[in-house]
Copies of this chain bind each other. A is one copy, B any other.
Amino acid sequence: MAPLPEGFSYGQWCLVYNALSFGIAAMGAATIFFWLQLPNVGKGYRTALIITGLVTAIATYHYVRIFNSWVDAFSVVQKEAGNDYGVTLTGNPFNDAYRYVDWLLTVPLLLIELILVMKLPKDETVSKSVQLGLASAIMVSLGYPGEIQDDLATRWFWWCCSMVFFLFVVSSLLVGLNDATSKQPASAVDLVVQARYLTMFSWLTYPFVYIVKNVGMAGTAATTYEQVGYSVADVVAKAVFGVLIWAIAAEKSHLEETGQLRGK
């Protein structure tokens, strides 16, 4: 990756610093919530909930790494003559690839958690998991070569390649899972529909954050927007989405327990 630009203000540096720390706290807390809820849902939903927690656990690990990398990349010292801090680069690289390694693992997993919680027939579960899991892994892999480029044409090229798979996954979620959604029990349909739209909405933020640098924005502002934007999108797509997955699992477990829904 190209070195970070020089000239961050203390305010910009702090914004990224605190957004990354927010990521650690939110992802870590979400992980504990999901795993502590395991005994409260039916056996058939536990794998979905275990994976939901894995996604946020993997993200917690990467947010700790990104945070440390951000801190190591800068020297922040009080200015001699003033009421402010000076932010300079130490020369240590800021490793942004952590995000891509994270997505490579977590994006297929969070699609699988949505498929699992719907409790489709076994064949459909396996085929959809493989299909969406692979497509999303390819999507992430194709995005990276563009992310580390400063050349705008190259950035757009990889963005487009990645978007082909992005659109396939999102349309599968919208159209393909439509039938399955209608087979969900009435009280869970709303939650499943919400989860699908939340996925769509939070996912859509990624290609927009990605093109912050494509549309000519550069320097410290672009990096600040990018880091804060990805952090917020990650918390929504993983932790908030996970809460919906848990709500669906809890509702359906309750229905099965009270005989209103036949468990498989």
Contacts and interface: CB of A to CB of B under 8 A. Distances in A.
A25 B77 contact: no
Nearest to A59: B25
B38 A38 contact: no
Contact of A77 (B28, B92, B98): B92
A84 interface: yes
A41 B143 CA distance: 39
Interface in A147-180: 150
Interface in A48-103: 50-51, 53-54, 57-58, 61-62, 65, 76-78, 83-85, 89, 91-93, 95, 97-98, 101-102
Report copies per complex: 2
A22 B84 contact: no
B54 A77 contact: no
Contact of A40 (B22, B43, B51, B83): B43
A1 B17 CA distance: 13
Size category, A interface: 35 or more
A53 B37 CA distance: 13
Given A47-B40, A95-B17, A3 B78 contact: yes
A37 B33 contact: no
A118 B77 CA distance: 49
Given A76-B93, A92-B76, A101 B18 contact: yes
Contact of A50 (B14, B33, B50, B61): B33
A21 interface: yes
Interface of A: 1-3, 10, 14, 17-18, 21-22, 24-26, 28-29, 32-33, 35-38, 40, 43, 46-47, 50-51, 53-54, 57-58, 61-62, 65, 76-78, 83-85, 89, 91-93, 95, 97-98, 101-102, 104-105, 150
